[in-house]
Structure 1
């Protein structure tokens, strides 16, 4: 399977040189969604927590890259190091507060964080750094060769980070720490009886998820060249949760499917008209969650198993 995944990533990278830039741009955004959703797979699917904080973590990565370019002389690529560090630290702090409580309390704590983050960016004491309501513009990092356009280089970077993130997440999920997270998810009392420190384990899962989401936010900020308070609202958190549920909460492949869904499915309903498209979008989401409780990844796995049984 590792060979199959590697060949798939190489083939996808090769397609970037065969497609026009505007199509490559859209697949780059799908890859960025997938990176963020991988963090939510670890946080929600593996460790069993709930979060609305992903919009704020996404914004922390974007603002980290933007402020680095606007207020320092460091190269833009330093944002790829700063964003996950900021996301990890913030995610750990949120996890320490929310992880020891029930899902309802986790939802309320992370909701408050998501609502407060855009207001914090407009705070007068720090608006000289964040740009206040005007936001900040940032330049895309210079590609290493003139043979690569900005869109193709963004896609290759996002694809490489997505592949590395999948490898790291796979190793984490199947490691001792991953088993501890699943034990805490399934039965907290039993996990504590086995010596697992549940609050610390959940805080670590939240920190790792924060790193994934923040680096996705950094890549997205580079792609659009702008960050502003209105870009990281509560609707963005809900949108990511939809992608997680549709793709599959406990599957890394589901994160990729969810990223493709978030990027391309709105196009299917957009042609039906502004009023009707939103209604159809919501109805189809509800139907998908009822018909496929384990997401697209789970449905495809069941289909493959059924075909294997039916094969003579």
Structure 2
């Protein structure tokens, strides 16, 4: 069975996804509504961080605008859901169609950015993606009548299905939706990484000249990776719109894009499991900073200054410490610990006491 799973990557990933899904399903019944909401938020972030770690770690492209791509997905979901709701659409279509639209529209936006940045690298590509964080708020202001300006839009979200019961918590239903989207994202990306295209991505990251000599279309590979990463960010943005039930440009600022990138680096850039650690840290960070602010006992004026800045400072400090102590991130540390446990030598034969039978012990 182990050899079969080692040979068939798709089957192995499917079993891991099913096992994780069953564990999460059981966990949602044990968590409080607030913790279920946090779990759903983490799943929404995971959709974006997973795509970003593939983009940065496996193709070597740096993006500082993934928060803006999540905003594109969130706004698309809000607009499409409102149109469908006004048209009388209810049920699963009111959930699935806006999510699909969010993925498609964000993928198209990512394709445009990818085409523009296919010949760029390093700080030049980062500067190009950084403009997204400026363009998206400007668009919401320019088309304030349709996009709500700085106030944003409310998102039409139906309650949990009546078949689940009247007292069924909405947060648990949201956690199911968000975790299903995150598991699907991780499953598809894991198979993409282990496919032939994944090997082409790594070849382009390591040496573009050698990749061209090997017959790889470098520009096409970069564009496709950016489209895939943007699509996952759009899915995360759509899920986040379902959770918050509102969308505004202030929720997808430059600081948020930096948080996403730092989360990927801290979790372990280039490792999908590292994206999970990064998403977890994005959810845990607000509670950590709130606890720090409460322990400081600051005045209202100081609390206003610390709001937002403290989170960035804590995240930056964690990034520095992880970079110095664990250059491969949290997942790299976990992998190293696992290898050490597996490589632990078995006790020497001389150290094992001889096993004597009852008759031998009696004769002795």
Where do 5+ consecutive residues of structure 1 fail to align? none
- Cα offsets for 1:235-268 (capped at 9, x unmatched): 1100101110111111111111111111114423
- Cα offsets for 1:182-213 (capped at 9, x unmatched): 11000000101111111111011000000000
Alpha-carbon RMSD across the aligned residues, in angstroms, is 1.8
**Structure 2 residue 342 is the aligned partner of structure 1 residue 308:** yes
Deviating more after overlay: 195-204 vs 273-282: 273-282
TM-score by length of 2: 0.81
Q: Is the 8 A contact 2:259 2:315 kept in 1?
A: no
Partner in structure 1 of residue 78 of structure 2: 66
Partner in structure 2 of residue 296 of structure 1: 330
Quick one: higher RCO (CA 8 Å, sep 6+), 1 or 2? 1
Partner in structure 2 of residue 194 of structure 1: 214
- Cα offsets for 1:6-65 (capped at 9, x unmatched): 323211211111221111001111111111101101211111100011011100110001
Query: SS at the partner of 1:271?
Result: helix
Where do 5+ consecutive residues of structure 2 fail to align? 1-11, 294-302, 347-364
Q: Is the 8 A contact 1:266 1:281 kept in 2?
A: no
Within 2, Cα distance between the matches of 1:150 and 1:68?
Answer: 22
**Structure 2 residue 199 is the aligned partner of structure 1 residue 179:** yes
Partner in structure 2 of residue 223 of structure 1: 243
What's the offset of the Cα at 1:100? 1.3
Partner in structure 2 of residue 151 of structure 1: 171
Q: 1:263 aligns with which of 275, 283, 295?
A: 283
Partner in structure 2 of residue 100 of structure 1: 119
Q: 1:115 aligns with which of 134, 139, 152?
A: 134
Q: 1:57 aligns with which of 65, 69, 80?
A: 69
Within 2, Cα distance between the matches of 1:56 and 1:15?
Answer: 32
* Equivalent residue runs for 1:70-89 within 5 Å: 70-72=82-84, 73=87, 74=89, 75-77=93-95, 78-89=97-108
Within 2, Cα distance between the matches of 1:208 and 1:162?
Answer: 14
What's the offset of the Cα at 1:229? 1.6
Q: Is the 8 A contact 1:16 1:24 kept in 2?
A: yes
Within 2, Cα distance between the matches of 1:60 and 1:289?
Answer: 31
What's the offset of the Cα at 1:149? 2.5
Within 2, Cα distance between the matches of 1:311 and 1:16?
Answer: 40
Q: From the superposition, tell whether residues 104 and 6 of structure 1 become closer, same or farther in structure 2 (CA, over 3 Å).
A: same
Query: SS at the partner of 1:195?
Result: coil
Structure ID, larger Rg? 2
Q: Is the 8 A contact 2:262 2:315 kept in 1?
A: no
What's the offset of the Cα at 1:221? 0.8
Q: Is the 8 A contact 1:269 1:281 kept in 2?
A: no
- Cα offsets for 1:88-130 (capped at 9, x unmatched): 111111111112112111011011122221111110xx32221
Partner in structure 1 of residue 316 of structure 2: 282
Within 2, Cα distance between the matches of 1:67 and 1:5?
Answer: 32
Q: 1:13 aligns with which of 11, 14, 25?
A: 25
